[in-house]
């Protein structure tokens, strides 16, 4: 996505190189038992990132009541992160909680890498409701190492790694809507067979984006430039 953006804005195509990026390797924590089994009693959703209006947290909260009704199971959403929109999202979640007992929302604030890895391991679905064109959204690949599928709006570079039906579900991004996001979450979770396929696909896709490969491609570009 970013390669195409640079070319579109006037850079010569032969001078723009894709040094595919990936997260650093890590040792996953011990499995969080009981939350990754198909059709759990409570579906655990995760938002991880900066809390800004364009990150779509409000749209995600608006989508949850319909998702809970259609899935017929309670939802537990964890927000990991912080930012200027946190207070308004917390107020929105508190108000929704009065009307929707099947939806529980937890705000964890900024957390360290180990705690985030545990959240990846103990969640059922990563939701990336960004409204702006994310260059890549590395968090989706980090989550994929834990076999955690993702749902996101089809904006920016998200589709460089998120393929509907393979490792998650893309919601329409032109424009992004609450209804489209709710539908994508339901599609990802309503069928045990689909959900298991998405989990396997998340792991496979994450394995294609590794930091060592990024370094190899970067060094290749430097060597060509030096010559």
The DSSP annotation for the chain comes to -HHHHHHHTT--GGG-------PPP-PPPPP-TTSSSSS-SSEEEEEES---GGGTHHHHHHHHHHHHHHHTS-EEEEEE---TTHHHHHHHHHHHHHH-TTEEEEEEES--HHHHHHHHHH-SEEEE---S--S--HHHHHHHTTT--EEEES-TTGGGT--BTTTEEEEP-SS--HHHHHHHHHHHHS-HHHHHHHHHHHHHHHHTS-HHHHHHHHHHHHHHHH-
The DSSP annotation for 70-98 comes to HHTS-EEEEEE---TTHHHHHHHHHHHHH
Q: Cβ distance 83 to 50 under 8 Å?
A: yes
Give the chain's end-to-end CA distance (angstroms, integer): 28
Q: What predicted TM-score, i.e. pTM, was given to this entire model?
A: 0.91
Peptide linkage before 175 cis (omega within 30 of 0): yes
Per-residue pLDDT of the chain (227 residues; tens, 9 = 90+): 999 999 999 999 988 998 888 887 665 545 554 444 456 899 999 999 999 999 999 999 999 999 999 999 999 999 999 999 999 999 999 999 999 999 999 999 999 999 999 999 999 999 999 999 999 999 999 999 999 999 999 999 999 999 999 999 999 999 999 999 999 999 999 999 999 999 999 999 999 998 898 999 999 999 999 99
What pairs with residue 151 in β-bridges? 127, 169
């Amino acid at each position: 996505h970013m390669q195409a953006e640079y070319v579109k804005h006037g850079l010569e195509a032969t001078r723009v190189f894709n040094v595919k990026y990936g997260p650093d390797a890590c040792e996953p924590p011990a499995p969080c038992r009981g939350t990754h089994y198909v059709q759990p009693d409570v579906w655990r959703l995760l938002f991880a990132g900066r809390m800004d209006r364009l990150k779509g947290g409000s749209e995600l909260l608006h989508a949850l009541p319909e998702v809970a009704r259609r899935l017929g199971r309670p939802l537990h959403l964890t927000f990991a992160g912080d930012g200027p929109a946190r207070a308004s999202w917390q107020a929105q979640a508190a108000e929704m909680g009065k009307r929707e007992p099947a939806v529980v929302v937890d705000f964890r604030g900024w957390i360290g890498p180990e705690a985030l890895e545990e959240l990846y391991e103990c969640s059922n679905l990563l939701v990336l409701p960004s409204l702006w064109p994310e260059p890549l959204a590395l968090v989706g690949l980090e989550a994929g190492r834990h076999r955690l599928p993702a749902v996101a709006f089809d904006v920016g570079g998200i589709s460089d790694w998120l393929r509907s039906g393979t490792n998650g579900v893309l919601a329409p991004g032109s424009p992004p809507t609450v209804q489209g996001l709710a539908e994508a979450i339901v599609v990802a979770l309503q069928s045990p067979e689909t959900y298991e396929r998405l989990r396997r696909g998340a792991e496979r896709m994450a394995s294609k984006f590794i930091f060592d490969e990024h370094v190899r491609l970067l060094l290749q570009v430097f060597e060509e430039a030096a010559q």
